[in-house]
Amino acid sequence: MGKKRIAVKSEKELFKEQKKIEAKLKKEIKKAPQKIREGKLYVSSSYNNTILTLTDPRGNVLHWTSAGSIGFKGTKKGTPFAASKAAEAMFLATQKLGIEKVAVFVKGIGAGRESVVRSIVARGLDIISITDITSIPHNGCRPKKVRRV
């Protein structure tokens, strides 16, 4: 089979990757009317993609990003790595908006749930609370009607 090689990125490659993420933030980030210090971060994680939405305390959307908008395509959008890169882009947006504290609401069953929260904490954003708002079926769907022969 052969030896496995571990790819180690140099500082130049990491810097280039960071520039790529910042370039993907080409959308103009709306400045909030007043300086907002707190916000809500909604993480919707499915098997196919991870979508992050940043809102003010009232629920007005300030910025959103997803693994697909960062540049990942196909099945790579559903990976934890893509979710963490989307979280890095969201962290840059929170810095530009001046948001210091965030309440995180996680929804869905995808692989990016945990990696988003981990990467936001690693960047230094204060997390007030983490809430799971995944919907749970309480009685299931209606069964098919009985077949009559």
Structural domains of the chain ordered from first start = 35-132 (3.30.420.80)
| Mean pLDDT score, 114-124 | 95
pLDDT in tens, 23-44: 766 555 666 556 789 999 999 9
- From the list 40, 87, 89, 45, the residue with the least C-alpha distance to 60 is 40
Q: Please give the mean pLDDT across all residues of the chain.
A: 88
Distance CA 39, CA 59 (A): 9
- Percent of the chain whose pLDDT exceeds 70: 89
Query: If you compute the radius of gyration of the chain from its CA atoms, what whole number of angstroms results?
Result: 19
Distances (CA, A) of 55 to 27, 44, 47, 80, 91: 16, 14, 24, 23, 13
DSSP 8-state class, residue 90 = H
| Mean pLDDT score, 58-77 | 93
